[in-house]
A = this chain, B = another copy of it.
Amino acid sequence: MVLRDRRFLHARDTHRAQVGASLRVGLLGGNQGTGLVTRMEPDLLELEVELLQAPPPKLPLILLMALPRPKALNRVLASATSLGAAQIHLINAWKVEKSYWKSPRLEPANLLHQRVLGLEQAKDTVLPTLHLHRLFRPFAEEVLPSLVADRLALVAHPGAWEPCPRQVTGPVTLALGPEGGWTDPEMQTLIARGVRPVALGPRILRTETAVAALVGRLF
């Protein structure tokens, strides 16, 4: 297997790999294992790979997030991927600025790249599926029911709700609002579809911090 891209640069500059070195490698969508460096040129390296280990299991977690501002999107995607979410849904909401949907960061190549970075961080090889929903109401009416059926469905929202449950055993669907929160009608729509509001204490956290704290608590 020959590498010429940023993986080559990472092996050369970060790991200072030379012929004979053994690197941890994984095949996107497949197993992971080791790669023995058999050739090193100025612009490429060749690996003999052995892929015998299965990737770590995914969490039984579907994440529904209001589309974050572009500056935060990359972090949120990589972080949710590294934590092991199985599905990520990015949804419109009243307080999501329209311009966010036009960000170049929403191009498929970037959405893939950020998830791959999350996989690399966590030594995982299986991408979470990613779904964009540019309209809240059709999402809530047509898609949401299938995402909450037979699962614990929670929406983390500031307020005097019951605390988020701990150490659940079954699958979970977890919704997080935009920076300004869900509006009351949005909350009512979620609740009407069976999503239970839960609180996460008095502190307002950034989306990726809240996701990590909730994952640590739930699983």
Contacts and interface: CB of A to CB of B under 8 A. Distances in A.
Contacts of A167: 166
Interface stretch (A77-85, A144-152, A184-192): A77-85
A84 B214 contact: no
Interface string A190-219: 000000000001111110111011111100
Nearest to A167: B166
11 contacts: A56-B203, A79-B206, A82-B203, A82-B206, A83-B209, A123-B202, A124-B203, A166-B166, A212-B213, A212-B216, A216-B217
Assembly of this chain: how many copies?
2
Q: What does DSSP make chain A's interface, helix, strand, loop or mixed?
A: helix
B203 A84 contact: yes
A49 interface: no
Interface of A: 56, 75, 79, 82-84, 121-124, 166-167, 201-206, 208-210, 212-217
A205 B124 CA distance: 11
Given A121-B204, A212-B216, A214-B216, 10 more contacts: A56-B202, A83-B205, A84-B203, A121-B205, A123-B202, A166-B167, A209-B212, A213-B215, A215-B216, A217-B217
B56 A206 contact: no
Contacts of A79: 206, 209
A205 B56 contact: no
Nearest to A206: B121
A123 B203 contact: yes
A202 B57 CA distance: 9
A212 to B, nearest CB: 3
Contact of A123 (B56, B204, B206, B216): B204
Contacts of A204: 82, 121-123
A57 to B, nearest CB: 8
